Amino acid sequence: MVVDGLDPAHDGVRIVHLSDIHVGNLTPREHVRAAVALANDASADVVALTGDYVCWKKHEVGLLREQLAGLRGGRVVATLGNHDYFTWGAGVTGALTSHGYDVLKNRHTSIDVRGAPLHMIGIDDPITKHHDLDEAFAGVPERGPRVVLCHCPEQAPGLAERGADLVLSGHTHGGQIYLRGVTDRIITRMGKRYRRGFYDVPAGAGGERASRTQLYVTPGVGFSGLRVRAGDGTQAEVALFTLRASPSERSASLQQ
């Protein structure tokens, strides 16, 4: 991920992204633990989690606490999703924080990574109307990249207007069962813009800080509704990003 104006110290910073774990009957324990192992093997500077850790039942919070344990990174930061609030928002928050993971509910945390600040901004779940973009961005320093975690990707334009450099989201499962032409029409009729993968998001009239906002929508880890993922872009994944300065900025840094 090329980030405009990236501090040279952050060239090569690695961020692992997991979303939509959905522990419970449909997502086998070994599937979740394999995702944790992949994330740990990446030796990332930051681990980002973007919601829907459970499905519908309160007892799944105990499964979450056990199955998502042991994530390693310089810092593990998280936001909640709609299923977490449908089930038991306080319980999900407690399960995550019991492992030392930082749950960001409309707030930010600035992490010292390789001697320079990296700002992680968490948007609480928009589907259940817990989000507050202005509150989340309040007090975020100007200097340093802004990485935003938000379960639902449809908030991306508003995040771009507030100067996000990189937005990480989930929620869609990539459609989970994708039929070319059919799934795209359904998504469009629902008024949705983002299914999976990379998007450049224009900042609009209010965007003054970031010259470019990049959104990544992961298909996530687990299953919802059916234990099936089929079609292009629906495969379960652990996403790994490496932050890079633009070629001109890297060249200038080397010359210094």
Residue 151 has pLDDT above 80, yes or no: yes
Most confident of 47-51, 178-182, 200-204: 47-51
Amino acid present at 47: V
- pLDDT confidence of residue 153: 98
- pLDDT confidence of residue 256: 56
In a domain, 3, yes or no: no
Residue 220 has pLDDT above 80, yes or no: yes
Residue 172 has pLDDT above 60, yes or no: yes
In a domain, 179, yes or no: yes
What's the token pair of residue 43? Answer: 């030796």
In a domain, 40, yes or no: yes
Three-state helix/strand/coil letters over the chain: CECCCCCHHHCCCEEEEECCCCCCCCCCHHHHHHHHHHHHHCCCCEEEEECCCCCCCCCHHHHHHHHCCCCCCCCEEEECCHHHHHHCHHHHHHHHHCCCCEECCCEEEEEEECCEEEEEEEECCCCCCCCCHHHHHCCCCCCCCEEEEECCHHHHHHHHHCCCCEEEECCCHHHCECCCCHHHHHHHHCCCCCCCEEEEECCCCCCCCCCCEEEEECCCCCCCCCCCCECCCCCCCCEEEECECCHHHHHHHHHC
In a domain, 48, yes or no: yes
Residue 119 has pLDDT above 70, yes or no: yes
What's the token pair of residue 249? Answer: 């900025």
In a domain, 218, yes or no: yes
In a domain, 87, yes or no: yes
Residue 92 · residue 64 · CB < 8 Å: yes
- pLDDT confidence of residue 192: 87
Domain count, the chain: 1
The answer to pTM > 0.75 is yes
In a domain, 45, yes or no: yes
Instruction: Encode pLDDT of 64-91 as tens digits.
Output: 999 999 999 889 999 999 999 999 999 9
Q: How confident is the model at residue 149 (pLDDT cuts 50, 70, 90)?
A: very high
In a domain, 1, yes or no: no
Residue 228 has pLDDT above 80, yes or no: yes
What is the arrangement of strands in the sheet containing 239-242, beginning at the earlier edge strand? 102-103, 76-79, 46-50, 14-18, 239-242
The mean pLDDT value of the chain amounts to: 93
**CATH at residue 139:** 3.60.21.10
Domain coverage including residue 239: 8-255
